[in-house]
Amino acid sequence: MKKNLFLALILLFISTYGLTKSIKQPKTPSLGVSQAQRLAQLPIHCVETQYPYKLGQTLGSEKDLKTPKEMHPAFYGCFDWHSAVHGHWSMVSLLKNYPNIESAAELRALLKNHISKENIAKEVEYFNGKYNQSWERTYGWAWLLKLAQELHTWDDPLARELENNLKPLSELLANKFIEFLPKLYYNIRVGEHPNTAFGMVFAFDYAQAVGDSKLLNTITQRARHFYLSDKNCPLEWEPGGFDFLSPCLEEVDIMRRVLAEKEFHAWLRHFLPKMRKKKFDLNVGVVSDRSDGKLVHLDGLNFSRAWVLYGLANQYPRYAHLRKLADKHVRYSLPNLVSDSYEGGHWLGSFAIYTLNQSQNKKENQ
């Protein structure tokens, strides 16, 4: 009897093991040609859509009452300036990685038309205005530098033309970072646009790509000043209702860049000790209404969390277990993008593209 029971258990184990092996585990979400073509429709749809538009400007006089296109001839669509900027980054990223995409000619024409010397001169003029010295600080600055970086690392004649056209603005905003960060006594730990760590991440990558040692050193020094002594970040407090960035994880993203390997691992062990555990988990940000421009921010949170987790796993294999957690966040929000309302569609495509680039470990500086 015991012998028969033993044999039955063995057979059950073998059959169960075989069934488990036969079930395909879901793959990491990736950005293939068909997905790239779908996501290309988002910036194509919004970069020349002038209204609705959120100006966010300070009026000095009646002379400042102009249309978005008059004030921002390069970046007047996609509801607001920074979303227009990263809409253009999306187009460059897609062309760089999928040069034969179906909409390539349309994307190239839009980029050439918008990022002209004349248009960028107008954008620079706006930033030099009396009341606009801190406008779009630092979120919009960061995305403009990300656009400049993507152009710099794209091997294409059009990229050289656009990079040169954009340079007066990218250099202006790089210098604004250098001027501003040493004056920022307390860093800004929020889940929305002013987050200091996020701005420094994109500016750091730009500085590294173009060889701007002054900007690179400024960011490294300030990141160490702001974050080196931080411990036990309260992830359980996240997310806030309107967050599209994780204050804790954005801090991880900048510190993995500025710290050497040994120092970073020691820092992270104190900052987020649970991340080392194989079963580390985070619930996705739940979106209750994607027609609400603020509530849909949580889709952005899912993407930005994922790109931090992918980046960490790509750089340090000991955190490879975080890829599954990143995958979970992407799978929740990715299916909703193209059919989404304008509240999310005007900006979330950029977050998805950047995340999927990270999931495939694309080297931005090559």
Distance in angstroms (rounded) separating the CA atoms of residues 6 and 13 = 11
Does residue 18 sit within a domain?
A: no
Of 201, 240, 245, 200, the closest CA to residue 347 belongs to: 245
Does residue 202 sit within a domain?
A: yes
Please report, for residues 61, 79, 169, 304, the alpha-carbon distance to residue 365 in angstroms, rounded to integers and kept in the order given.
43, 29, 20, 20
With a cut of 60, say whether residue 66 has pLDDT above it. Answer: yes
Q: What is the pLDDT of residues 324-335, one digit of tens each?
A: 999 999 999 999
Does residue 279 sit within a domain?
A: yes
Does residue 365 sit within a domain?
A: no
Q: What is the pLDDT of residues 169-195, one digit of tens each?
A: 999 999 999 999 999 999 999 999 999
Q: What is the pLDDT of residues 188-231, one digit of tens each?
A: 999 999 999 999 999 999 999 999 999 999 999 999 999 999 99
Q: What is the 3-state secondary structure (H, E, C) of 207-249?
A: HHHHCCHHHHHHHHHHHHHHHCCCCCCCHHHCCCCCCCCCHHH
Count of structural domains, the chain: 1
Does residue 128 sit within a domain?
A: yes
In this prediction, residues 84-90 reach a mean pLDDT of 97
Does residue 1 sit within a domain?
A: no
State the pLDDT confidence band at 28, using cuts at 50, 70 and 90: confident
Does residue 328 sit within a domain?
A: yes
Question: Where in the sequence is the domain holding 87, given as residue range(s)?
Answer: 29-359
Percent of the chain exceeding pLDDT 70 equals 90
Q: CATH number of the domain at 137, please.
A: 1.50.10
Phi, psi of 255 (to 5 degrees): -70, -30
What pLDDT does 260 receive? Answer: 98
Helix (H, G, I), strand (E, B), or coil: what is residue 94?
A: helix
DSSP state of 192: S
Cβ atoms of 310 and 250 within 8 Å: the answer is: no
State the pLDDT confidence band at 27, using cuts at 50, 70 and 90: confident
Does residue 13 sit within a domain?
A: no
Q: What is the pLDDT of residues 114-172, one digit of tens each?
A: 999 999 999 999 999 999 999 999 999 999 999 999 999 999 999 999 999 999 999 99
With a cut of 90, say whether residue 17 has pLDDT above it. Answer: no
What pLDDT does 339 receive? Answer: 60
